[in-house]
Structures are given as structure tokens and as C-alpha cells.
């Protein structure tokens, strides 16, 4: 019998954006979903790091949608994609002490761990209004409420940046066919490899979002 | 039952928030945005509360020093990005007037606010590119069709309401009248310049509906921390001057202030108010006579009708003053409403969710501590 999530994981809001984090023993604390545009916009507003020109280019990869209008057909548009790993690293420093892009192994361990759990997550208190709305919407889609890998959007979310080593990043994940076709198995394959501080045309990474981890071990 | 004192001041229904787009998308439009803003600020009435913001920034800027600082403020805000959420979050609890955005290019998060009250009050003045995403409805006009004087809608009327228990018992602006249309409310009588009012009322969830040309605002009112709801305190602090009765009038008052039945000092007829309608008094004055001539001597003719409050001074003199409202608080549960030359007492009955009549006001009705109220 699979272990119950109640004894193993807990969900709590992050202190910066009040979106949900998921704490998985032996792995660490991860953003429950890929980082949303709303969260990235808070970073842009507070740091003045990127302006309209930059954001217009990013939004061409995956247009923004209001959390009020999210449906099971378009929810991937909530998440910020098309950003380079060094831009993600700037965000992670702002997001909180110790947060970073997960390693390949960390991501896969989290995926495997969530695959083995039963039950539903309980929505934490103190989520922001957008986060609460998004939680309810995703929970309401029959497809994503079925399993924790789907509710956390490790499955049927975006491709996500992971760290191969200090200098190299790659994409991992298993998005829906409608968002990205020809997807590989996240437990065995990596896609969209890229080196730190290199920039190729952004549109080539239009499916690449990210989640952050505050890991218990950095074990690659 | 709870009762509180409230203040509705002019700036609460006459305010404007101006939001400027200094982001990269508005680079080409910036000079025109500044010109239009100067024009709006120049044309706004002085007593209107003005707030100035830049997209992406919740900080409020001072409109009084706009011209000399706008270039520096633009540099400060240029790389923030076209986001309205930080400003709307800061306006959400206090905002009451119109919100005007002058800008060019998409405001990325505007759609998150569609359907909100703030969005309904939003006017987008497009100086170049549209600020609305495709397929998103909003009140956007081109700067070429915009007149700076049109951003403020003049107030047509104000109506103050509350829950079922709502019962105002003091208000200091005679331009407000009691209205029984629908639920009980205080309503501004005619288009008038002064819509400010201080008032005390039983009830909760008190709000003002402010009707303007083409729009309507609902202002939630919070009780004042300092003002009292004790009727004697209100009489002392919030109403006009005291006047003295003559010695004969004082004697009559002192002999009758606690009496069940009071008789006219001129014709000995039984009184129902301070206005004697007895046969003898009507022979001298067709419409009857006010028993204390001091009232007519000291109060304006339009002030005499209504509640008069009496008090005894420390040296034994009896003084009176006009109470400005048609309702007065008698005690912590009861009020009296002046209806013509009579006045009845009412008390709220929770089971029936209404104010029910509980008898007549005495000719001199005690408010405690040596204060009495009577009706003319």
C-alpha cells in the first residue's frame, strides 16, 4: 500500500509571493507548481530588473492569461516560460535564501516521490488571492486532480529547467501533448540543453519554465 | 445596539487617482502624457483629493510638485514595467473616486482586475498604443478625444444608508433630509455645493451612495474614534448657541419640567407641544402661539419648528437651543422623531427588524443630567 501524503509531505505558502510550496522529506522544499507569471511580475516590479521590452519578448513565447480565465485548455499560460537559466537564477535570489534550480536528480526524486503518494493536498491558509484561485481551478480539472504529479504539474505542466552541473542546464518534464508534442520520459531523458550565460533565440525555449527548490542535499 | 458618529467629508466623494505610464512602451508618448497631466491637474478643483502614481509602483507622488520633478520621477519608474496591481492593491481599501491612466502599450495585469469595483471606475487615456489586451473590454479613449475637464464627474446626490437598525439621530447639514423611500436613509435634498455632513446613527454597515453624472460610488463609512454618541455631549459640542428664557418662562419650565400634563401659561389649555393650539391662544394668533416668546425672539423663524433642548445652568437659569435634526436620541435604545408639532418615541425590535412606536414624547422629556427636549 502506498504511504499517505499526510505523514510525508506538507504544503505551505512562500513568504515572498504567497504561492504554495511543497515540502518533501529527504528532498527539500519546492514551489508546488512551475513559477507563474504573476510571481515573476512581482519580482520585476520590486527589482526593476526587466522592463516592457524584455517582457514583451518573453510573452511572445507563451502569452499571459489572467488567473480568472484559466481553463484546462490554457492553464500553461499561467507559467513563465522562455526565460534563460541566468534569468531564473536572478529570480531565485530574490525569491528566498537558499532557493535555486533543482538538480536533475532532485527533480526526478521529487517526481518519483509524488508518484508514490495517494490522497489530495490540503490548501494552506495565507495563500494570495491569485494562488488560491489557481489552486481551486487546477484542483477542479478532472485530469490534474487525479494524481499529485499532475496536481503539482510535474506531469502535464511545462518543460522545466534543471541543473546538470554548475555550468549546464537542461529541460525536463512531461507536458501535455497540446502544449508540447513529442515529449520524452522525464525519468530517463533531458531536452533543450543549454550552458550558463549563453543566449540562443528565446523562442527556442518557449516551453521551458522552472520551479525552485530549497534542497536538503545538492547531490549531482 | 451599536451607534456611532460618522463624518462624510467632501474629499471622500471627490477624489481622483492619476496613474502615469513611464514604462518603455510609453517612451514615444511621454511628452504628451506629461502635457495632458499638467492640463488635468490645472483644471481639477482645488478641494479635490488628488493622488498620483506611476505604473508598477505603489508609491504616491505629490501632485503639487509635479512639474519640477516629473523628469526625475520618469527615470525612477521607467524600468518597472506596465503593471497596475501594486497601485490597485494600495487603492483597494481607500479609493473612492475616478482612476485615470495615461499611457501607451499593454498593461499586462489589467485583465486580473476586470469585474472589480476599481476596474469600473477606470478610465484609460490612450496616447499611442492601446493599453488593453485583445478581447478585453475596458473604458479606453484616445487622447485626441479627451477633454481634461471631463475627468471629474460632479456629484448629483448622496444617500446615506445602513442595515435594518440604521437610524440617524443627529446630522449637522440641513441640506440632508430623512427619506423613507425603500429603507430609511439620509438623502441630500437638492444639488448643492456642500455635501459634507457629520452625523450620528444607530446601526452598522453604514455607507453612502454617491451618484454622479454617469457613475455611482459606494463609500463605506467608518465610525469616528473621537466623537461621542451621548445625546448631551452632541448637544453641547455640535449644535448652536444657548439662549435664556425670561424669568416668568423659567418659573413655568421649572414647575412643569417633570409633569405628565403641562398647561399653557397664557390660556391654561392642555399642551401637546410648546405650540399652544388652545382656543384663547388662537384668538390672538390664528395658528396658535408658542408658549415661550423667547424662542421666537432668539431663533430664526425657520429654526423654531422642531426639537428645542433646555438645560439648567449652575446658577439656576434655564437656557435653550435648537436641535438641528428631526430625530433625537432619547437613551441607548430609543429615539424620538418629530412629526409635525408632535413627536413619538421609537425603539428597535430585533424580532421584527423594525423601529416600533413606543408612545409619545412628554412635553418636557428628560435626557438626563438636567437636559430636556421639547417639540414645537
Contact B127, B29 (CB under 8 A): yes
| DSSP state letters, chain A | -PPBGGGT-EEEE-TTT--EEEEETTTEEEESSSPBHHHHHHHHHHH--S-HHHHHHHHHHS----GGG--TTTGGGGB--S--HHHHHHHHHHH-TT-BPPBHHHHHHHHHHHHT-BS-PPPPTT--HHHHHHHHHHHHSTTTTS-HHHHTTSBSS-EEEEESSSSEEEEE-B--TTTSSS---TTT--EEEEETT----GGGGTTEE---EEES----
Q: Does A205 touch chain B (CB under 8 A)?
A: no
Strand partners, B201: B4, B168
Hey, are the CB atoms on B86 and A45 less than 8 Å from each other? Answer: yes
Residues in chain B: 376
Given pLDDT bands bounded at 50, 70 and 90, which one contains residue A49?
confident
Percent of chain A past pLDDT 90, that is, above it, reads: 60
Contacts of residue A131 in chain B, CB cutoff 8 Å?
A: none
Domain ranges of chain B: 3-7+154-220, 10-151, 231-375
Contacts of residue B114 in chain A, CB cutoff 8 Å?
A: 66, 68
Q: Which residue is closest to A64 within chain B, CA to CA?
A: B108
Candidates B24, B108, B111; nearest CB to A53: B24
Domain B10-151 has CATH 3.40.50: yes
Question: pLDDT per position in chain B (376 positions), as tens?
Answer: 889 999 887 666 667 899 999 999 999 999 999 999 999 998 887 767 889 999 999 999 999 999 999 999 999 999 889 999 999 999 987 756 789 999 999 999 999 999 888 898 899 999 999 999 888 888 899 998 887 766 765 678 899 999 999 999 999 988 899 998 888 999 987 666 678 899 999 999 999 998 876 667 788 888 987 777 888 988 888 777 899 999 999 999 999 999 989 999 988 888 888 888 887 787 777 777 899 999 989 888 777 788 999 999 888 899 999 998 999 999 999 999 998 778 899 999 999 989 999 998 999 999 998 999 999 8
Q: Does A69 touch chain B (CB under 8 A)?
A: yes
Contacts of residue A67 in chain B, CB cutoff 8 Å?
A: 112
Hey, are the CB atoms on B24 and A52 less than 8 Å from each other? Answer: yes
Q: Which residue is closest to A49 within chain B, CA to CA?
A: B79
How far apart are alpha carbons B343 and B375 in whole angstroms?
7
Residue B96, pLDDT score? 63
Contact B168, B186 (CB under 8 A): yes
pTM above 0.80, yes or no: no
How far apart are alpha carbons B259 and B250 in whole angstroms?
15
Task: List residues of chain B with CB under 8 Å from any CB of chain A.
Answer: 23-25, 56-57, 78-83, 85-86, 105, 108-109, 111-112, 114-115
How far apart are alpha carbons B32 and B143 in whole angstroms?
9
How far apart are alpha carbons B97 and B48 in whole angstroms?
10
Report the residue of A51, A52, A128, A134 to disrupt the B interface, i.e. the one with the largest count of B CBs within 10 Å: A52
Residues with Cβ < 8 Å from A76, sequence gap 6 or more? A62, A157, A158, A175, A176, A179
Name the least confident of A6-10, A86-90, B344-348. A6-10
Residue B110 phi, psi (nearest 5):
-60, -35
Q: Which residue is closest to B87 within chain A, CA to CA?
A: A45
Residue B144 phi, psi (nearest 5):
-70, -20
Residue B248, pLDDT score? 94
Candidates B79, B86, B112; nearest CB to A68: B112
Hey, are the CB atoms on B79 and A38 less than 8 Å from each other? Answer: no
Residue B190, pLDDT score? 67
Hey, are the CB atoms on A44 and B25 less than 8 Å from each other? Answer: no
Candidates B79, B109, B111; nearest CB to A41: B109
Residue A220, pLDDT score? 45
Residue A82, pLDDT score? 93
Given pLDDT bands bounded at 50, 70 and 90, which one contains residue A4?
low
pLDDT at A2 over 50: no
Candidates A45, A64, A67; nearest CB to B56: A45
Calculate mean pLDDT across residues A14-38. 95
- Extract the C-alpha cell encoding A184: 520524452
Q: Which residue is closest to A46 within chain B, CA to CA?
A: B80
Hey, are the CB atoms on A56 and B78 less than 8 Å from each other? Answer: no
How far apart are alpha carbons B44 and B63 in whole angstroms?
11
Closest CA to B189 of B180, B179, B200, B199: B179
pLDDT at A144 over 80: no
Hey, are the CB atoms on A64 and B108 less than 8 Å from each other? Answer: yes
Residue B110, pLDDT score? 96
Contacts of residue B82 in chain A, CB cutoff 8 Å?
A: 52
Q: Does A201 touch chain B (CB under 8 A)?
A: no
Q: Which of residues 93-152 of A touch B (CB under 8 A)?
A: 130
Q: Whose grid coordinates read 499517505?
A: A4
Calculate mean pLDDT across residues A25-46. 95
Calculate mean pLDDT across residues A43-72. 93
Contacts of residue A49 in chain B, CB cutoff 8 Å?
A: 79
Hey, are the CB atoms on B25 and A69 less than 8 Å from each other? Answer: no
Hey, are the CB atoms on A52 and B23 less than 8 Å from each other? Answer: yes
Contacts of residue B80 in chain A, CB cutoff 8 Å?
A: 44-45, 48, 51
Given pLDDT bands bounded at 50, 70 and 90, which one contains residue A216?
confident
How far apart are alpha carbons B362 and B376 in whole angstroms?
12
Residue B317, pLDDT score? 92
Q: How many CB pairs under 8 A join A and B?
A: 54
Domain ranges of chain A: 5-215
Question: How far does Cα B63 stand from its chain's mean position?
Answer: 26
Residue B154, pLDDT score? 66
ipTM value, please give it.
Answer: 0.90
Candidates B78, B85, B111; nearest CB to A51: B78
Amino acid at each position: 500500500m502506498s504511504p499517505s501524503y499526510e505523514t510525508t509531505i506538507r504544503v505551505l505558502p512562500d513568504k515572498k509571493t504567497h504561492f504554495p510550496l511543497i515540502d518533501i522529506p529527504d528532498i527539500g522544499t519546492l514551489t508546488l507548481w512551475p513559477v507563474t507569471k504573476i510571481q515573476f511580475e512581482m519580482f520585476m516590479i520590486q527589482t526593476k530588473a526587466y522592463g516592457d521590452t524584455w517582457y514583451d519578448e518573453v510573452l511572445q513565447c507563451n502569452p499571459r492569461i489572467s488567473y480568472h480565465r484559466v481553463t484546462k485548455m490554457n492553464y500553461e499560460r499561467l507559467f513563465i516560460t522562455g526565460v534563460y537559466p541566468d534569468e531564473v537564477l536572478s529570480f531565485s535570489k530574490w525569491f528566498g535564501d537558499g532557493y535555486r534550480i533543482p538538480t536533475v536528480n532532485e527533480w526526478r526524486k521529487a517526481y518519483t516521490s509524488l508518484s508514490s503518494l495517494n490522497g489530495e493536498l490540503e490548501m494552506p491558509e495565507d495563500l494570495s488571492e491569485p494562488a488560491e484561485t489557481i489552486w481551486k481551478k487546477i484542483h477542479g480539472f478532472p485530469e490534474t486532480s487525479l494524481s499529485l504529479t499532475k496536481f503539482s504539474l510535474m506531469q502535464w505542466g511545462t518543460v522545466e529547467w534543471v541543473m546538470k552541473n554548475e555550468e549546464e542546464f537542461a529541460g525536463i518534464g512531461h507536458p501535455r501533448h497540446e502544449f508540447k508534442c513529442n515529449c520524452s520520459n522525464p525519468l530517463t531523458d533531458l531536452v533543450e540543453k543549454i550552458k550558463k550565460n549563453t543566449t540562443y533565440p528565446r523562442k527556442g525555449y518557449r516551453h521551458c519554465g522552472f520551479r525552485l527548490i530549497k534542497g536538503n542535499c545538492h547531490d549531482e | 445596539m451599536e451607534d456611532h458618529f460618522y463624518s462624510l467629508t467632501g474629499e471622500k466623494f471627490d477624489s481622483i487617482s492619476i496613474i502615469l505610464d513611464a514604462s518603455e512602451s510609453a517612451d514615444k508618448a511621454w511628452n504628451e502624457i506629461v502635457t495632458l497631466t499638467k492640463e488635468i491637474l490645472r483644471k481639477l478643483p482645488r478641494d479635490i483629493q488628488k493622488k498620483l502614481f506611476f505604473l508598477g509602483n505603489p508609491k504616491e507622488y505629490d501632485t503639487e510638485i509635479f512639474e519640477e520633478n516629473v523628469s526625475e520621477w520618469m527615470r525612477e519608474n521607467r524600468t518597472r514595467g506596465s503593471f497596475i496591481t501594486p497601485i490597485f492593491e494600495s487603492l483597494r481599501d481607500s479609493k473612492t473616486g475616478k482612476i485615470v491612466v495615461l499611457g501607451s502599450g499593454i498593461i499586462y495585469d489589467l485583465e486580473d482586475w476586470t469585474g472589480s469595483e476599481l476596474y469600473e471606475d477606470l478610465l484609460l487615456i490612450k496616447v499611442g498604443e492601446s493599453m488593453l489586451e485583445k478581447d478585453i473590454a475596458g473604458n479606453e479613449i484616445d487622447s485626441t478625444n479627451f477633454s481634461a475637464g471631463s475627468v471629474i464627474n460632479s456629484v448629483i446626490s448622496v444617500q446615506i444608508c445602513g442595515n435594518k437598525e440604521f437610524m440617524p439621530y443627529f446630522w449637522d447639514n440641513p441640506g440632508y433630509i430623512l427619506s423613507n423611500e425603500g429603507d430609511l436613509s439620509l438623502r441630500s435634498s437638492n444639488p448643492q455645493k456642500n455635501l459634507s455632513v457629520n452625523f450620528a446613527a444607530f446601526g452598522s454597515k453604514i455607507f453612502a451612495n454617491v451618484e454622479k453624472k454617469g457613475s455611482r460610488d459606494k463609500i463605506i463609512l467608518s465610525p469616528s474614534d473621537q466623537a461621542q454618541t451621548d445625546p448631551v455631549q452632541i448637544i453641547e459640542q455640535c449644535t448652536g448657541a444657548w439662549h435664556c428664557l425670561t424669568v416668568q418662562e423659567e418659573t413655568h419650565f421649572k414647575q412643569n419640567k417633570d409633569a405628565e400634563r403641562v398647561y399653557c401659561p397664557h390660556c391654561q389649555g392642555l399642551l401637546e407641544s410648546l405650540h399652544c393650539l388652545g382656543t384663547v391662544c388662537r384668538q390672538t394668533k390664528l395658528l396658535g402661539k408658542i408658549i415661550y416668546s423667547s424662542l421666537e425672539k432668539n431663533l430664526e423663524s425657520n429654526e423654531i419648528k422642531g426639537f428645542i433642548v433646555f438645560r439648567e445652568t449652575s446658577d439656576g437659569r434655564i437656557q435653550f437651543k435648537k436641535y438641528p435634526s428631526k430625530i433625537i436620541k432619547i437613551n441607548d435604545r430609543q429615539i424620538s422623531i418629530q412629526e409635525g408639532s408632535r413627536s413619538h418615541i421609537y425603539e428597535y425590535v430585533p424580532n421584527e427588524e423594525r423601529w416600533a412606536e413606543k408612545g409619545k414624547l412628554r412635553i418636557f422629556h428628560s435626557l438626563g443630567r438636567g437636559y430636556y427636549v421639547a417639540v414645537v
